[in-house]
A and B are shown apart, each in its own frame.
Chain A
Amino acid sequence: MAENGIGASVRRKEDYRFITGGGQYVDDINRPGQAYAYFLRSPHAHAAIRGIDASQALAAPGVLAVLTGDDVKAAGWGGLICGWMVKSKDGSDMKAGPHPILCQGKARYVGDPVAMVVAETYLQAKDAAELVEVDYDVLPACVATDKADQPGQPQVHDGIANNAVYNWELGDKAAVDAAIAAAAHVTKLDFVNNRLVPNAMEPRAAIGDYDRASNGFTLHTTSQNPHVARLVISAFVGVAPEHKLRVIAPDVGGGFGSKIFIYNEECACLLASRMVRRPVKWTAERSESFVSDAHGRDHVTHAELAMDRDGRFTALRVHTKANMGAYLSTFASCVPTYLYATLLAGQYKTPAIYCEVDAVYTNTTPVDAYRGAGRPEATFLLETIVETAAKELGVDPAELRRRNFIEPSAFPYQTPVALVYDIGNYGAHLDKALELADYAGFAGRRAKSEARGKLRGVGFSCYIEACGIAPSAVVGSLGAGVGLWESAKIRFTHTGVCQVLTGTHTHGQGHETTFAQLIADKLGVPIDNVEVVHGDTDKTPVGMGTYGSRSLAVGGQAIVNAAEKIIAKGKKIAAHLLEAAEADIEFQNGSFTVKGTDRSKSLGEVVFEAYVPHHIPQGLVEPGMEETAFYDPANFTYPSGTYICEVEVDQDTGVVEIDRFVAVDDFGKVINPMIVEGQVHGGLAQGIGQALIEGCVYDEAGQLLSASYMDYCMPRADGLPDFQIATTETPCTHNTLGVKGCGEAGAIGSPPAVMNAITDAIGVRVSMPATPEKVWRALQNRQMPQAAE
């Protein structure tokens, strides 16, 4: 292994910059002559806008412009789009209501941007916004997910009956119905997957900058995928042709999905900049983030798992209502469908699975992908129903799972829900997790807890996850509006410094280190001589960005493929310099060597020769050393793992404490174990947050009650246990690195482990988040004398 190559826990190169305040986030960037924007947002969840009078605001000190929906219309710009066409089971297209940049005639959620005030300073803009008079006609709001498509509910979009976006299905319904009818046992459960606010540490921000001379725009924005932002803003919003729009996403402070999407504010900043002929900056306040960053999850589900007499799963039937919020956000439609139902096989060889999904509009903040996106919802459902089935059958939950695992010999394995798993060994991580958790000692620990008056429970989760959504032809056939390949360019300089330009984007994941390790490993370049460049459409080749744990499995593989091209070209040059046949040249540890001899040229020498080709005959190779690769994977990658959680419940208060949490993941090959561990820690914290403390609360009028950190509870270190983390390894079969992806697993796998442990402790299910009061009430009800049956 090269020093600091694959497998080394190299310290993150980027952290010195971040922890010494040297990061350059959008809000750190100031353009000459910059003006500031404030968005006036609807205080109502649903209201007709009868008129907007901005005359007083326009006269206020420092105000340069007040924009409304009419200005967007006058500019001829369109609205935001949802980039994934999902078709209903009757073959009709999903119903995408218009998603204007600034409200046109109607506000559909609390936080919907109604007007934009641009002024010399931010405070002037904010002051003036109070003078904008909006004549609202407040309408009743549709809020609850499960009721949204019932008759009589307020209609979010004109002409979209019953707020129904689509009614989609996957799987063989007849086979499932038949298997359920014939089953020895059927476990039936209802689920609510709670809505979450993503809460990236850095609030969203944008600077729109119109250049009169070139008639082009530069947009600095907090984006996970600047090229996708450029594409959508150019081709769909219609701001400018792609070559007239440069999108820069510099350092970005976390996204968790919420910064994938194309948002109103960044488009509005571009328009405002053209109108006032100055750069226009907007940075969200935290209270804006709560209502305007796309939320996550929000499903209501009924599921039935059928088994034969031996507890072998014979069928799974699922019906889900998914809340899309007031508008279809950029990728919202694929989350409760292709990223959800396709995962319902889990680690099990259930032969028949059917899932039906009704997506609904409500007068709430739009919902879209959030760490895990669909997969946590699938995993929560499946791993809860499996554990419940084990309880009902009186079988140990680990044993029931093992009985149903897809065996290692069965790969590649075609699931009944479209995916083909390439590889896995589920028993391996289950075994390791049982050992690390000291499962054998659980009964003793439970007895000890009981002696102290506490209830102890243990819960499992054996998750499957699908990363690096691909290949493009397949996702295209399922409705995706884009290809999901990735690009990389490796560029050496005369002096051997290596620039890696990637189409992925790092916003906390540590790409600058991991990708440098790939170069160190493949090309023998010290990582300090590797610079990873990302986040600027004018610098990097077109790329699809970072989400779905794709950066390494797709983007990393593109880098490796580009490195192979560097080696191939280098071999030609080295062969000439060493007067050997190209076929006799080997490349290892940064040197080209004639096989079986000690004659060699370093990569640095070869690179120098490529740029100063004084000894290279015409026509042998082009000068220079710069190679590009585009990589479209053959399949998703399929990380999997076993999580075991042990909780202790205080019966007097209902407080749940996590006593131990074991996570054993199979991420395939691991490039940087320390970074992977960090990703798992963060994911677990978010998943445990969803299980225990996080949750959006809307009132009936559509006001978000949990709209600040005083009420929306984020996970903190002091509420989390010391995680016990380990990995097993089955290398991915269709990329040469053997990597799978690790960014979301923790958030996907952990909620059911926690919730199953609570159910085990208290004997009844409660919904997420399992707040002390809910647990206490469940205990109260449990302690009520049972009525005679």
Chain B
Amino acid sequence: MYAFEFHRPSSVADAIAALKAASDGKLMAGGQTLIPTLKQRLAQPSDVIDLGGIKELHGIRQDGNSLVIGAMAKHGEVAGSDLVKSVIPGLHELAGLIGDPQVRNRGTIGGSLANSDPAADYPAAVLALNATIKTDRRSIAADDYFTGLFQTALADDELITAISFPRPEACGYAKFRNPASRYAIVGVMVARTGGGVRVAVTGAGPCAFRLPDFERALAGSFSADALAGLSVSPSGLNSDMHASAEYRAHLVRVMAQRAVKAVR
């Protein structure tokens, strides 16, 4: 790790000010991605701005028909929240499948979404549940948020404050884990929402994406069997030592069917 200036602001405004003042500042949530990156000397920020002291970024609350999760909510908090469990059980379950207990006790939903790791779980939920990403300056619709490999619609100096999940009628998540890291090789969330059926995939592509033909099939008949004849093209999907693009394409269908069966 190279030396950097450390800041621990207590408001979003101070965090943004510190970020703007820095020549190459980095926000830090739980450090689960940032710290290993620094330790491996893959990044050399001038300043690290710790978001841990900003109260307004913490907490999980219900706001009308939506669940609002603060950017600094840890995966463990979401997985341990009775509120999440009662409002969106599929999201509660997804959070409990992230990494291992150590990761869940440090990693945050804001950090996960800002990072947009292709293998992260939350992106599938954000897309499938048609969530809104709230930042220090605007709201971003899920469909506009994920733009590419580790790429999002966030500006360089933009800070996620919360994620608002409209309550679905029902949703379910199925994950095929990387046996080593426990990230998703393929994760699929299926949701029945006011706006129709939404199916979102993580792990398989450069970033999370929706499957319109799966959505149509499920809109016709909401059952695992409705997906039986469908397939996904491996072209453009990720391929690594754990899973080829072909295998991932196959798993997308299998996990989608399992997600449908898991819908609650």
The answer to whether the Cβ of B241 comes within 8 Å of any Cβ in the partner chain is yes
Chain B at the A interface: SS class: loop
CB-nearest residue of chain B relative to A653? B254
Distance in angstroms between the alpha carbons of A706 and B179 in the assembled complex:
13
Across the interface, B247 reaches (CB within 8 A) one of A127, A693, A712, A776, namely A776
Contact B247 A773 (CB under 8 A): yes
Contact A713 B179 (CB under 8 A): yes
The answer to whether the Cβ of A771 comes within 8 Å of any Cβ in the partner chain is yes
Contact B241 A706 (CB under 8 A): yes
Contact A697 B241 (CB under 8 A): yes
Distance in angstroms between the alpha carbons of A773 and B179 in the assembled complex:
12
Distance in angstroms between the alpha carbons of A765 and B149 in the assembled complex:
37
The answer to whether the Cβ of A709 comes within 8 Å of any Cβ in the partner chain is yes
The answer to whether the Cβ of A711 comes within 8 Å of any Cβ in the partner chain is yes
B2 partner residues in chain A, CB cutoff 8 A: 127
Distance in angstroms between the alpha carbons of A772 and B177 in the assembled complex:
11
A125-137: CB near B (< 8 Å → 1, else 0) gives: 0010000000000
Contact A705 B176 (CB under 8 A): no
Q: How distant is B9 from chain A, measured CB to nearest CB, in Å?
A: 27
The answer to whether the Cβ of B244 comes within 8 Å of any Cβ in the partner chain is yes
CB-nearest residue of chain B relative to A650? B254
| Interface of chain A residues 761 through 775 with chain B (CB within 8 A) | 771-773
Q: How distant is B226 from chain A, measured CB to nearest CB, in Å?
A: 16
Contact A710 B254 (CB under 8 A): no
A708-748: CB near B (< 8 Å → 1, else 0) gives: 01111110000100000000000000000000000000000
The answer to whether the Cβ of A538 comes within 8 Å of any Cβ in the partner chain is no
The answer to whether the Cβ of B85 comes within 8 Å of any Cβ in the partner chain is no
Distance in angstroms between the alpha carbons of A714 and B251 in the assembled complex:
23
Knowing A653-B176, A693-B179, A773-B247, the reply to whether A711 touches B254 (Cβ < 8 A) is: no
The answer to whether the Cβ of B243 comes within 8 Å of any Cβ in the partner chain is yes
Across the interface, A709 reaches (CB within 8 A) one of B181, B242, B243, B247, namely B181
The answer to whether the Cβ of A528 comes within 8 Å of any Cβ in the partner chain is no
B234-264: CB near A (< 8 Å → 1, else 0) gives: 0000000111100100110010000000000
Distance in angstroms between the alpha carbons of A465 and B206 in the assembled complex:
48
**Best-buried of A697, A706, A710 by chain B (most CB within 10 Å):** A710
Contact B243 A773 (CB under 8 A): yes
Distance in angstroms between the alpha carbons of A705 and B247 in the assembled complex:
20
Q: How distant is A651 from chain B, measured CB to nearest CB, in Å?
A: 10
The answer to whether the Cβ of A53 comes within 8 Å of any Cβ in the partner chain is no
| Interface of chain A residues 616 through 663 with chain B (CB within 8 A) | 652-653
B134-161: CB near A (< 8 Å → 1, else 0) gives: 0000000000000000000000000000
Across the interface, A653 reaches (CB within 8 A) one of B40, B241, B251, namely B251
Q: How distant is B56 from chain A, measured CB to nearest CB, in Å?
A: 33
A127 partner residues in chain B, CB cutoff 8 A: 2
The answer to whether the Cβ of B180 comes within 8 Å of any Cβ in the partner chain is yes
Distance in angstroms between the alpha carbons of A714 and B242 in the assembled complex:
14
B254 partner residues in chain A, CB cutoff 8 A: 652-653
A714 partner residues in chain B, CB cutoff 8 A: 180
Contact B180 A773 (CB under 8 A): no
**Best-buried of B1, B179, B181 by chain A (most CB within 10 Å):** B179
Q: How distant is A718 from chain B, measured CB to nearest CB, in Å?
A: 10
**Best-buried of B176, B178, B241 by chain A (most CB within 10 Å):** B241
Q: How distant is B51 from chain A, measured CB to nearest CB, in Å?
A: 24
Contact A773 B244 (CB under 8 A): yes
Contact A771 B250 (CB under 8 A): no
A773 partner residues in chain B, CB cutoff 8 A: 242-244, 247
Q: How distant is A194 from chain B, measured CB to nearest CB, in Å?
A: 13
Across the interface, A711 reaches (CB within 8 A) one of B181, B247, B250, namely B181
Contact B241 A705 (CB under 8 A): yes
CB-nearest residue of chain A relative to B255? A653
Across the interface, A710 reaches (CB within 8 A) one of B176, B181, B243, B247, namely B181
Distance in angstroms between the alpha carbons of A510 and B178 in the assembled complex:
34
B243 partner residues in chain A, CB cutoff 8 A: 772-773
B180 partner residues in chain A, CB cutoff 8 A: 693, 709-714
A776 partner residues in chain B, CB cutoff 8 A: 247, 250
Distance in angstroms between the alpha carbons of A719 and B40 in the assembled complex:
29
CB-nearest residue of chain A relative to B119? A710
B1 partner residues in chain A, CB cutoff 8 A: 123
A712 partner residues in chain B, CB cutoff 8 A: 180
A104-125: CB near B (< 8 Å → 1, else 0) gives: 0000000000000000000100
Distance in angstroms between the alpha carbons of A506 and B232 in the assembled complex:
54
Distance in angstroms between the alpha carbons of A652 and B256 in the assembled complex:
12
B179 partner residues in chain A, CB cutoff 8 A: 693, 713, 719, 771
Distance in angstroms between the alpha carbons of A343 and B78 in the assembled complex:
54
Q: How distant is B97 from chain A, measured CB to nearest CB, in Å?
A: 12
| Interface of chain A residues 686 through 718 with chain B (CB within 8 A) | 693, 697, 705-706, 709-714
Contact A711 B242 (CB under 8 A): yes
Distance in angstroms between the alpha carbons of A757 and B41 in the assembled complex:
44
Q: How distant is A195 from chain B, measured CB to nearest CB, in Å?
A: 13
Q: How distant is B1 from chain A, measured CB to nearest CB, in Å?
A: 8
Distance in angstroms between the alpha carbons of A706 and B178 in the assembled complex:
13
B242 partner residues in chain A, CB cutoff 8 A: 711, 771, 773
CB-nearest residue of chain A relative to B241? A697
CB-nearest residue of chain A relative to B180? A713
CB-nearest residue of chain B relative to A126? B41
Q: How distant is A270 from chain B, measured CB to nearest CB, in Å?
A: 28
CB-nearest residue of chain B relative to A709? B180
Distance in angstroms between the alpha carbons of A47 and B178 in the assembled complex:
34
A772 partner residues in chain B, CB cutoff 8 A: 176, 243, 247
A710 partner residues in chain B, CB cutoff 8 A: 178, 180-181
CB-nearest residue of chain B relative to A776? B247
CB-nearest residue of chain A relative to B2? A127
Q: How distant is B183 from chain A, measured CB to nearest CB, in Å?
A: 8
Distance in angstroms between the alpha carbons of A773 and B251 in the assembled complex:
10
B12-45: CB near A (< 8 Å → 1, else 0) gives: 0000000000000000000000000000100000
Distance in angstroms between the alpha carbons of A653 and B176 in the assembled complex:
9
| Interface of chain B residues 81 through 122 with chain A (CB within 8 A) | none
A653 partner residues in chain B, CB cutoff 8 A: 176, 251, 254
Q: How distant is B125 from chain A, measured CB to nearest CB, in Å?
A: 21
| Interface of chain B residues 170 through 190 with chain A (CB within 8 A) | 176, 178-181
Q: How distant is A121 from chain B, measured CB to nearest CB, in Å?
A: 12
B247 partner residues in chain A, CB cutoff 8 A: 772-773, 776-777
A777 partner residues in chain B, CB cutoff 8 A: 247
CB-nearest residue of chain A relative to B243? A773
Distance in angstroms between the alpha carbons of A777 and B243 in the assembled complex:
11
Distance in angstroms between the alpha carbons of A705 and B239 in the assembled complex:
13
A287 partner residues in chain B, CB cutoff 8 A: 40
CB-nearest residue of chain B relative to A652? B254
A713 partner residues in chain B, CB cutoff 8 A: 179-180
CB-nearest residue of chain B relative to A655? B176
Distance in angstroms between the alpha carbons of A123 and B1 in the assembled complex:
8
CB-nearest residue of chain B relative to A774? B247
B181 partner residues in chain A, CB cutoff 8 A: 709-711
Q: How distant is B101 from chain A, measured CB to nearest CB, in Å?
A: 11
Task: List 18 A-B residue pairs with CB atoms under 8 Å apart, sorted by A's residue number.
Answer: A123-B1, A653-B251, A693-B179, A693-B180, A697-B241, A710-B181, A711-B181, A711-B241, A711-B242, A713-B179, A713-B180, A714-B180, A771-B179, A772-B176, A772-B247, A773-B242, A773-B243, A777-B247
Known contacts A653-B251, A693-B179, A713-B179, then 17 further A-B pairs from the complex at CB < 8 Å, ordered by chain A residue: A127-B2, A693-B180, A705-B241, A706-B241, A709-B180, A710-B180, A710-B181, A711-B180, A711-B241, A711-B242, A712-B180, A719-B179, A771-B179, A772-B243, A773-B244, A773-B247, A776-B247
Chain A interfacial positions (CB closer than 8 Å to B) = 123, 127, 287, 652-653, 693, 697, 705-706, 709-714, 719, 771-773, 776-777
Chain B interfacial positions (CB closer than 8 Å to A) = 1-2, 40, 176, 178-181, 241-244, 247, 250-251, 254
Q: Which 6 A-B pairs have the closest CB atoms?
A: A713-B180, A710-B181, A713-B179, A773-B247, A652-B254, A697-B241
